Every structure is written in C-alpha cells, then in structure tokens.
Structure 1
Amino acid sequence: MNTQPIGLFDSGVGGTSIWKEIHSLLPHENTIYLADSKHAPYGSKSKENIIELSIKNTQYLVDRGCKIIVVACNTATTNAISILRDRFSIPIIGIEPAIKPAALKTKTKAIGILATQGTLSSTLFHQTTDLYSDGIEIVERVGEGLVPLIEEGKINSEEMTSLLKLYTKPMLDSNIDYLVLGCTHYPYLIPQLIKLLPTNINIIDSGAAVARHTKAILEEKQLINPKKTKGVNTFYINTKNKQTIATLLGGDHDIKYLDF
C-alpha cells in the first residue's frame, strides 16, 4: 500500500497550493488531485451540501486506492472533517486557518482573517478562535468573489485588486500585523497582497504545516513510499477550462477532465 497515491481534493484549483507544499516535501509520493471547480466556491453553500460534496470527493479518491486523504479546502475541513473521519478508515488530513501562530506572534494584538463564509461560520473555526482570541482583536472578512476570480484566472485583474482593498481596509484600520489566509485559493493572492499591504504585515497560510503533518502521519502509519523515483501526479478537473490549473501548477502536468 505504500506506493499508493496521496489523494487531495478542493472546491476547485486553490488546493494546488497545498499540493505544491506536499510535492515539494514528498517528491517521491504519487498523488491524485481532485478539483471540484464545477461546484466552487464551497464557502457559500449550506453545511449539508458541503458535507455531501466532501463525502463524494473522498469516496472517489478512496476508490482510486489512495492511502491518505488531504482535504485541501478550509471550508470542507471545518464543516465535514469529523464526518469524513467517522465514515472512512484511512487517515484524513484537514486544513484550518493558521490562527494559533498569528495570535501567539502578534505584537499589535490585532490579526486579520480572510476566509469564506462557510469557514468563518463553522463551529470548528469558532472553537479555534475562542482558544487563541483572549486579549486579541480578530478582524474577520469574507472574501466574497475572490474564489471565482481565481478560478477564472483573473488573479491580477483590477476587480481582484478592488476587492482586496475593500476587504483589507478594516484590518488596516485595526492595525493588524498578521493576515491569516483562510482559504487554499488565497495563497495565489500573496503577490497582490504584498503590493497592497504595509511591509510590517505578515501574511501566513497553512500549506507548509499541512505538508509536514501529512509526512508525519505517513511515517507514523509506515506508509511512506520506499521508491526514490519521481512520483506520478494526476490532476482531475470537472470543467472544460484546464488553463487556470495548468497556469497555477506551472510546468508539464497530467491534467484530465473528469465528469464528477
């Protein structure tokens, strides 16, 4: 089973930011990435719908023989991770906004969180913020419209710049020194955000931490691929537009259309 792939899914192409971190840390592992762009964004959907889609995606990856599943989506994690772990027997890794490191390191005692409505309204998110919010102002903003623009490849568009200015203004007014990106699509906006924000603001996401956790679980379960050849990486997308994911991934990758 050690040579079986790592499975990842997201509500579209954003989770490739997580895939890049995992591939960089574990280049010999085979991977299957499932991009549910047809149903993106998950953040505006009901909890029931998010759970249904998450089960469907996980089942597909399990049926492909994946040895571990990475839910490369904050909204799916915060709404469905416990149900997925109850339903499936293989290890399942989730992703949450990196609130803890921001809260522990802030000097201005104010941090910003940019995430989807589905993440910000979830029980798991509120449990996490309650643990680390004592004496700290947390400025939450829903990044409405950001995911569709990223899915359309409009990362550097004027519309994107306008939305980012709108969403970060209340954070700047509160003198944040950390901005937590609570959606796996959002790391692709870091170049834009660096241009817009003062240099004293640190931008953090969970990608590297998720990769390290994935490696640790594979080692613990003795599931590390012993082969030292380059891993085989397959990407499935359920819309006809492959250009965005191809651009974000860079290089030559096996991207297939799958009706799911």
Structure 2
Amino acid sequence: MRDNPIGIFDSGVGGTSIWREIQKLLPFENTIYLADSKNAPYGEKSKDDILRLSIKNTEVLLKNDCKLVVVACNTATTNAIDYLRKNYDVPFIGIEPAIKPAALQSKTKTVGVLATKGTLASSLFHSTSEIHASGINVIVREGTGLVQLIEEGKVDSQETRKLLLKHVRPMIDEGIDYLVLGCTHYPYLVPILKEILPESVQIIDSGEAVARQTKSILNKNGLLASQRSKAYHRFYTNANIHVLESFVMNGETDYNVSVLDF
C-alpha cells in the first residue's frame, strides 16, 4: 500500500491549499483530490448533511485505493471525523482552526477566528477553545459569502475585498494580534488580508501543521511512498472544472483535472 495515493477531500477548491503543503513536504506521494463544489459551502449545512457528504467523499476515495484520507475541510472535520475514524480502517487527518498557537503567542490576549458557521457551531471547536484559549478573548466571525466567491473564482475581486473587510474590521477594532483562518478556502485570501490588517496582526492557518501530521501518520504506519522521480496527482470536481484548474496549475508534469459525478 505504500505507493497507493493519499486521498484529500473538501467542499470545493479550498482544500487545494492543504494539498499544496502536503505535496511540498511529501513530493513522492501520489494524491487524489475531490472538490465537492456542487455542494459548497458545507458551513451552511446541517450536521446530518455534512456527515452524509463526508461519507460519500470518503467512499469515493477508498474505491480509488487511498491509503489515508485528509479531511481538508474544517466543517467536515469538526462534524464528521469522529464517525469516519470509527467506521473506516484507514487513517484520517483532520483540520481544526489553529487556536492553540495563536493563544500561546498572543500578546494582547485577543485573537480573531474567521470560519464558517458549521465550524464555529461545532462541539469540537468549542472544546478546543475552552482547552487552549483559557484567559484569551476569542473574537469569532462567520465568513459568510467568502467560500461562494472563491468557488466562483473571484478571489481578487472588489466584491471579495469589500466583504472580507466587513468581516475582519470588528476584530481589528477589538485589538486582535492574531487572526486564525478556520476554513481551507481562506488562505487564498491572505494577500488581501495583508493589505487590510495592521502589520501587528499575524495570520495563522493549519496547512503546514496538517502536512507534518500527514507525514508523521504515514511514517508511523509504514505507509510512506517509495521515492520516485515524479508522483501523480489526480483532481476531480463535480462542478466547474476551470475553477479547480486555476487553483492547481503549478507546473506539475503529471497531474490531471477531470469532472466526476460524485
């Protein structure tokens, strides 16, 4: 199984930010990525719907012989990963907002979290906040509308800039010195955020930590790929193929983007 692919799924193109970090750290690993864009955003759905979609995505990846599954979606992780781990035999890597490092490093004792409704309402998010952010003023904000704009390929639009400013300005006014990105779509907004935020505010996302955890779990289970000259990367979407292509074009010589009905 060592040369079987790593499976990655998200509610759309956002999880490609996680894929990039994994591919950078583990260049010999084959990957299969599912962008469930026709059902995006997950953050507005019920827990039952999120679980159903997560099961569907997992089973598609397992049919493609994936040796490990990365749930590259904060909302799916917080609402479904416990079930997935109990019911399937492969390792699962989840995504959580990086509250712990922000809380530990904050000098103002005030941090912001920009995430989806589904993530912020989850019991996992609340328990993580209680454990790691005791004594910290955590300002949460639902990034309503941002995922939809990114899924439409409007990352650098004036509409996106205006909406992003509306979401982060209250947190700036509260004196945050760290902004935690609690959705894998949001790292694509970092260039705009750096223009909006004061220089004193640091941005944290989970991408590098997820890649390190993926490597650790593969190594622990004896599943690290044998080294080869070039790994393959397969990307599937059930919506607009051109949007996904625009997020994964990075000079790879062996990658393929296709439409798949799942």
TM-score, scaled to structure 2: 0.97
Amino acid in structure 1 at the alignment position of 2:137: E
What does residue 181 of structure 1 align with?
Answer: 181
Q: Which amino acid aligns with 1:244?
A: V
Matching residue within 255, 258, 261 for 1:259? 261
- Alignment length (residue pairs): 259
1:243 is aligned to 2:242: yes
Aligned AA (2:64): R
Shift of 1:39: 0.1
CA distance in 2, matches of 1:101, 1:213: 16
1:243 partner letter: H
Question: Which secondary structure state, in structure 2, belongs to the residue aligned with residue 84 of structure 1?
Answer: helix
By how many angstroms is 1:242 displaced? 1.7
1:86-112 CA distance string (max 9 Å, x none)? 110110110100000000000001000
1:126 aligns with 2:131: no
Distance 1:174 1:212 in 2: 33
Could you tell me which runs of 5 or more consecutive residues in structure 2 were left unpaired when the two chains were aligned: none
CA deviation after TM superposition for structure 1 residue 133, in Å: 2.2
Q: Which residue number in structure 1 is paired with residue 28 of structure 2?
A: 28
Question: How far apart are 1:162 and its partner, in Å?
Answer: 1.0
Q: Is the contact made by 2:100 and 2:133 (CA closer than 8 Å) also made in structure 1?
A: no
Cross-structure match for 1:83: 83
| Paired residues for 1:137-216 under 5 Å | 137-216=137-216
Please tell me whether the aligned partners of residues 102 and 178 of structure 2 are also in contact (alpha carbons under 8 angstroms).
yes
| Residues 64-106 of structure 1 deviation map (CA, whole Å, 9 limit, x = unaligned) | 1000000000000000000000110110110100000000000
Stretches of structure 1 that go unaligned for 5 or more consecutive residues are none
- The percentage of aligned residue pairs carrying the same residue is 58
RMSD, aligned CA? 0.8
**Per-residue Cα deviation, 1:26-72 (whole angstroms, up to 9, x for no partner):** 01000000000000000000000000000000011011100000000
The one-letter amino acid of 1:257's match is: V
Range moving further from structure 2, 41-50 or 127-136? 127-136
Deviations 1:117-143 (A, max 9, x none): 000000000000011222211000000
| CA–CA distance in structure 1, aligned partners of residues 194 and 124 of structure 2 | 29
Secondary structure of the 1:81 match is helix
Q: Which amino acid aligns with 1:219?
A: N
Aligned mates of 2:133, 2:232 — CA distance in 1: 42
Secondary structure of the residue aligned to 2:76 is helix
Q: CA shift at 1:158, angstroms?
A: 1.2
2:111 aligns with 111
1:238-258 Cα shifts (integer Å, max 9, x gaps)? 01x222222222235410000
Give the match's secondary structure for 1:255: strand
Residue 227 (structure 1) aligned with residue 227 (structure 2) = yes
**TM-score, normalised by the number of residues in structure 1:** 0.98
**Rounded Cα–Cα distance in structure 2 between residues aligned with 1:150 and 1:45:** 18
Residues 152-161 or 2-11, more deviating: 152-161
The 3-state SS of whatever aligns with 1:134 is coil
User: Partner of 1:212: helix, strand, or coil?
Assistant: helix
Q: Secondary structure at the match of 1:223?
A: coil
User: How far apart are 1:184 and its partner, in Å?
Assistant: 0.2
> Structure 1 CA distance, aligned partners of 2:62 and 2:206?
24
